[in-house]
Amino acid sequence: MSIQEEVGKRRTFAIISHPDAGKTTMTEKMLLFGNMIRSAGTVKGKKTGKFATSDWMEIEKQRGISVTSSVMNFPYRGYEVNILDTPGHEDFSEDTYRTLTAVDAVVMIIDATKGIEAQTLKLFKVCRMRGIPIFTFMNKLDREGREPFDLLQEIESELEIETYPMTWPVGMGKRFQGVFDRHNERFVRYSGDEQEEYIPYSELDQHPEITEEVAYQEAEEELSLVDEAGDTFEIEKVLRGEQTPVFFGSALAPFGVETFFETFIDMAPAPTPRKSTKGLVSPENEQFSGFIFKIQANMNPKHRDRVAFVRVCSGKFERGMSVTLGRTGKEFKLAQSQQFVASSSNTVEEGYAGDIIGIYDPNVYRIGDTLLTGKETFEYDELPQFPPEQFKKVTAKNVMKSKQFYKGIEQLVQEGAIQLFKRPYFEDYIIGAVGELQFEVFEYRMKYEYNVDIELTPYGERIPRWLKEDQVDTSLFDDRNMLVEDREGNKVALFKNEFSLRWFVDKHPDMDLIDLFEVNQYTQTNE
């Protein structure tokens, strides 16, 4: 096939939601459709011993949460599907934000019993800001929940996006009978098992056991209201991120998932051009290029491996090819290349725009790096970074384990979930994170992956501001307003609170204090 034909087969998307909305369960069902697993696990699989495939870390199995993005690749109905399952917990939202830079569409899971929740709102806004097409799945219809009209109204008012119901539910909870599939003009019957029964609209009059139910008749009236007063479906609006197709069902049952997935795969966009320092780069460009959006240590703890995940953006990837690292100009050979179902991998020989490929990292790559072939070099747009809000001093309880201690910190910091700072003269190691859960995961992984018990001494919440090198005066800082260095050697002031920050600004009006969050907000808003 030509590069153009190969690119047209790719569907690369992320699944995002608030915690417990059913995101990882949905991923499991999609893997079933792709014949990648024989039976679906659940996120909280402690009693059965069958855990979700995408929750591959030991701590994810123990805690029943997703703490890192998982990458899964499989063929489905002639398409090459790349799914990225993301953490729902807000403490790991930076990992999710970076993952969103590597996808062409997003599936948003909403718990129909709760509606839009805090993390849902945050992630939706990021998608809207980046113009990513959004497909919505209203989950848990097999429980009593909110009325469909209320859910649609909330999406339109809270998220400021048009909705178009692709399916419409008949009842909910114990009264749940199935959904009207508007796109395929059929009724999908819910029988309580995994088989979905499809009845064309023209044959419904042969099923009085369905049509004479009160729930069916009420749903039919609601559907005629939607047909008359609702928005018309426009695929162009969907691809611009201005309209979201909405589907109803239950990922756990499962019901409505296959109907959703088949429609989504046909509607979702193939890879599109990407912004770089030389302008837009077409996915059909002959020159291979891609960027690293994620680095993961210890996917195989026995081998202490490090895998860099590359989103292919143009040209053809071939195992063993030599590429240039845009940041340094150095050349590397990509001999070890893999595609994944969570932590299980297969060697991949070739790839095209849209594919997510794991390559061995000999400790040289960074998140955001561009890899490419040819003489012309460029770099893809920088990935978002977010300043930490909480800081803790980290030390090894056993000084004899210092080698493992430093190696563990170096590798886990390079994954991007936590940030490392050093205090000049004291040589203290300080780690910063968005939330407490990140510290817990860090401590757990240091113990079980690097065999190091650590001690964390809290500095509490701090307000970080980056400083310009020529303006640094060490005499202006103390324990209250600490001066530290980040991994790149840049000086950073950690202010105790807002009062300390305002006092410092008033006293030193000529000093430039850089708020990394504001820089990121500006950059993304003006893309």
Q: Is 333 annotated as a binding residue?
A: no
Query: Which long-range contacts link 30-36 to residues 24+ away (Cβ below 8 Å)?
Result: 30/72, 30/81, 30/83, 30/257, 30/261, 31/72, 31/74, 31/83, 31/341, 33/76, 33/257, 33/258, 33/261, 34/74, 34/75, 34/76, 34/81, 35/74, 36/72, 36/74, 36/341
Ligand-binding site membership of 23 (annotated): yes
Q: What is the separation, in whole angstroms, between the first and last Cα of the chain?
A: 33
- Asked whether residue 165 is marked as a ligand-binding residue, the answer is no
DSSP string computed for 274-337? EEETTEEE-TT-SS-EEEEEEEEE-SSTTTT-EEEEEEEEESEEETT-EEEETTT--EEE---E
93 labelled binding-site residue:
no
- Per residue, the 3-state secondary structure of 24-62, as one string, reads HHHHHHHHHHCCCCCCCCECCCCCCCCECCCCCCHHHHH
Say if residues 23 and 16 touch (Cβ distance below 8 Å): yes
470 is in an annotated binding site: no
**Residue 507 labeled ligand binder:** no
Is residue 85 a known part of a binding site? yes
Phi-psi region of 78 (alpha: psi -120 to 50; beta: other; left: phi over 0): left
Closest CA to 4 of 266, 316, 263, 268: 316
Rounded CA-CA distance 304/447 in Å is 14
Q: Is 294 flagged in the annotation as binding?
A: no
**Is 422 among the annotated ligand-binding positions?**
no
21 annotated to a ligand binding site: yes
Residue 17 annotated as part of some ligand binding site: yes
Q: Which of these, 485, 490, 439, lies nearest to 461 by C-alpha position?
A: 439
86 is in an annotated binding site: yes
207 in a labelled binding site: no
For 162-191, letters b (16+ CB in 10 Å) and e give: bbbbbbbbbbbeeebbbbbbbbbebbbbbe
142 annotated as a binding-site residue: yes
Rounded Cα–Cα distance for residues 500 and 480 (Å): 8
The tokens 């599907």 sit on which residue? 81
Please choose, from the candidates 238, 296, 278, the residue with its C-alpha nearest in 3D space to the C-alpha of residue 445: 296
DSSP β-bridge partners for residue 469: none
- Ligand-binding annotation for 478, yes or no, is no
- Is residue 381 marked as binding? no
Rounded to an integer, what distance in angstroms lies between the CA atom of residue 494 and that of residue 225? 56
- Asked if residue 374 belongs to a known ligand binding site, the reply is no
Q: Which residues are annotated binding-site positions for GTP?
A: 17-24, 85-89, 139-142
Feature table: binding site:
17-24, 85-89, 139-142
